[in-house]
Amino acid sequence: MHQFRNLILVGVAVALFGSCATTKHRPAAAPVRQQAKSIVILYENDVHCGIDGYTRLAGLRDAIQSSDTAFVGIVCCGDFLQGGTPGAISRGQYIVDIMRQVGYQAITLGNHEFDYGVPRMKELLAKVKAPVVCANFYDVGAPRPYFPSYVIHQFGDKRIAFVGAVTPETMILESYAFYDDHEYVNTDMKARSGAFVTIDDRHEKDEHTWTVRQVLDDSDGDHNWAITGVIDLDASQERGEVVFLDYAVRNMLESV
pLDDT band at 4 (very low <50, low <70, confident <90, very high): very low
pLDDT value of position 99: 97
pLDDT higher at 14 or 161: 161
Whole-model pTM over 0.85: no
3-state class of 13 per DSSP? Answer: helix
Q: Picking from 79-88, 183-192, 196-205, 208-217, which range would have the lowest pLDDT averaged per residue? A: 183-192
pLDDT band at 19 (very low <50, low <70, confident <90, very high): very low
Indicate if the pLDDT at residue 21 is higher than 50: no
- C-alpha distances in Å from residue 99, one per residue of 72, 109, 127, 167, 230: 17, 14, 10, 22, 36
Model confidence pLDDT, tens digit, residues 130-175 = 999 999 999 878 899 999 999 999 999 999 999 999 988 887 677 6
pLDDT higher at 216 or 11: 216
The per-residue DSSP string of 76-140 comes to E-S--SSSSHHHHHHTTHHHHHHHHHH--SEE---GGGGTT-HHHHHHHHTTS-S-B--TT---T
pLDDT value of position 158: 95
pLDDT value of position 77: 96
Model confidence pLDDT, tens digit, residues 197-254 = 999 999 999 999 999 999 988 888 889 888 888 999 999 999 998 888 887 777 877 6
**182-212 exposure pattern, b = at least 16 Cβ within 10 A, e = fewer:** bebbbbeeebeeeebeeeeeeeeeeeebbbb
pLDDT higher at 190 or 160: 160
pLDDT value of position 12: 32
CATH 2.40.30.330 for domain 38-170, yes or no, is no
Q: Are 217 and 195 in contact (CB under 8 A)?
A: no
The stretch 85-92 carries a mean pLDDT of 92
Q: Domain limits of the chain? A: 38-170, 179-255
pLDDT value of position 155: 96
Model confidence pLDDT, tens digit, residues 24-65 = 555 555 555 556 899 999 999 999 999 999 999 999 999 999
pLDDT value of position 121: 95
Q: Supply the mean pLDDT for the chain.
A: 84
In the chain, the N- to C-terminal Cα span, in Å, equals 112
Q: HSE of 189 in the Cβ direction (CA atoms, 13 Å)?
A: 2
Indicate if the pLDDT at residue 102 is higher than 80: yes
Indicate if the pLDDT at residue 20 is higher than 90: no
